[in-house]
Structures are given as structure tokens and as C-alpha cells.
Amino acid sequence: MVNGYQATSLKEALQILAKESVTPYSGGTDLMIDPEENATFLFLARIPEMKNIVEDTEYLRIGAACTFTDIIENELVPAILKEAAAQIAAPAIRNLATIGGNICNGSAKGDSALILFATDAKLCLVSSRGERVLPIAEFYLGRKKTALQSDELLVEILIDRINLSNYYYKKVGARDALAISRVSFAAILNVADGKIVNCKTAFGAVSDIIIRRADIDAMLVGKTTKEAKVVKKEYMAAYDQAIIPIKGRISAEYRKAVCMNLLRDFLESNGI
């Protein structure tokens, strides 16, 4: 027998979380794969505050209970996130699976999480005690481990509204559809007045946590394309040291080679 609650407002959901030991869910696609025995569930899909996709002067705000179909069909969502969402599973799964669930399962293979790392997104975590906004890189603590506390909900994802058009995204899987990433890579690079003003890269399905090294990417910021070519070898070497793949269904050596090839292709596609 399945026990649970169905909240119709954020306030109601937070009150339940504060008093009860529950497993929050919306689409439930991950729960279908690995169901919890004797769990009490909290259904979130009918909470309006978690279903919005809106923008303000600084951020695009995506409700955590938005499905991937919602994201693909919304004109406010940047192309890089739409492309990643469109490669998740099949239409029937995308109609149910949510971006919040993809983040909160704590997997480095999460397709939407990779994009959020590459865009330095922030997460709005709310409990009955208050609200905190956390950079997504600080949310992931290890394989299947996150900073989400037992009485908190991920309510919104905050993405910067600008400088997202020049992107690079590749997902390497065993097949074209319904594939879990073997390696995935996303990057953004922006040039203004002849100089690189923004460079962000992220590698997924490689380690226990998505790899995002802002310190290495900073090597290219402030340089012209010509100057970036001069430090390219040093930049690539830094990532060669930073990327330490884990073994899995495929070898660590394969993952490392694919990562470096994708990084090189990203640079070359931008004239570096």
C-alpha cells in the first residue's frame, strides 16, 4: 500500500515536510526505476509556485516541478537547455519527468544538471524556516548526495538571462534515443570588443560530480582569440590533470579521451 500526501500549495507542502518524514516527488520517473519500500510520499505536481517559467531583470526562473516538455515548449528557455531536454528519454517520459527531480537525484549523469553547471545556475531551496539560494556547484556533495535538507524543497532554478546563445553541447550515449550519458559536455563562450568575456565548461557522467572548473576556464577570459591560442596548450593540460574519470560500464580511459576531444572541438569551433 502506498501512503502519501498531495499538496496544492507551497505553504502546505512545507508544513508537511516540517512535521513528517516524506519523499517528495512530482513526475516519479526515478521512483519507478528504484521504488522505496514502505515510504510515505509527498506529491508536488499540483503546486502552482513550482510550475512557473518566468523571467525578471536578472534571471530566468524555472519551477522545479516543470516537466521537460514544459521546458522544450517554453519560448523563454534558452536553446542550450531545450536541446539537452529534447535528448532526455522519450516523449512519454519527458511529459512526466521534471527538472527538479533530475537535479535532486544527485547524479552526475543528469542531462539538465549539466547545463545548469555550465550556466552557473542557482537553486532556490525553501523550508518552513526560510529560503536560501545556493550555486548549483555547491548543491552536489558526491554521488547521489546533495545539500538538500530533509525539510527543504527545491522550488526554483535561477539562470542568468544573458550570454547563453553561443553554446556547445554534446551527449555521447550508446544509442540515439533513451540513452543514459556515457560522457556529456556543455560549454558557453562569449566575445565582446574582440576579447573573451565569458568561458564556462562542464563535463557530465565522468566523475561522481559534474566537473566545472571556473578557475581553469578563467585562463581564457580577457584574451583575444589569438591570445587564447597561445595559452591553449596550457589550458588543455590543466583539464587533462583535472579530469579523473571513474570506471563504469566503459573505461576511464575512454571517458578521458572523449572529454579531451570534446573540449578541443569546442575551442576549435570558436577559432581557438
pLDDT in tens, 197-217: 999 999 999 999 999 999 999
Q: What domain range includes position 143? A: 48-160
Q: What is the pLDDT of residue 29?
A: 85
pLDDT in tens, 3-20: 899 999 999 999 999 999
- Separation between Cα atoms, residue 59 and residue 203, nearest integer Å: 23
125 class by beta-carbon count within 10 Å (0-12 exposed, 13-18 middle, 19+ buried)? buried
Q: Which residues contact 48 (CB under 8 A, 6 or more apart)?
A: 9
Q: What pTM does this model have?
A: 0.93
- Separation between Cα atoms, residue 19 and residue 153, nearest integer Å: 14
Q: Is residue 174's pLDDT more than 60?
A: no
Q: Which residues contact 208 (CB under 8 A, 6 or more apart)?
A: 108, 142, 143, 246
pLDDT band of residue 181 (cuts 50, 70, 90) is: confident
Same domain, 152 and 233: no
- Give CA 178 to chain center in angstroms: 18
**Where does a domain end: 131, 160, 189?**
160
Find the mean pLDDT for residues 94-101: 96
Same domain, 114 and 195: no
**Where does a domain end: 106, 137, 160?**
160
pLDDT band of residue 179 (cuts 50, 70, 90) is: low
Tally of structural domains, the chain: 2
Same domain, 80 and 136: yes
Find the mean pLDDT for residues 91-114: 94
Q: What is the pLDDT of residue 50?
A: 97
Same domain, 108 and 190: no
**Where does a domain end: 133, 160, 187?**
160
Q: What is the pLDDT of residue 249?
A: 77
* Residue 216 maps to a domain: yes
Report the CATH number that the domain containing residue 188 is assigned in CATH.
3.30.390.50
Q: What is the pLDDT of residue 37?
A: 74
Look at residue 117 and give its three-state secondary structure.
helix
Same domain, 138 and 63: yes
Same domain, 101 and 133: yes
* Residue 14 maps to a domain: no
pLDDT in tens, 15-74: 999 999 999 999 988 776 666 777 899 999 999 999 999 999 999 999 999 999 999 999
Q: Is residue 183's pLDDT more than 50?
A: yes
pLDDT band of residue 180 (cuts 50, 70, 90) is: low
Q: Which three cell numbers stand for residue 166?
A: 553561443
pLDDT band of residue 1 (cuts 50, 70, 90) is: very low
Q: Is residue 188's pLDDT more than 80?
A: yes
Q: Is residue 173's pLDDT more than 80?
A: no
Average pLDDT, whole number, for the chain? Answer: 93
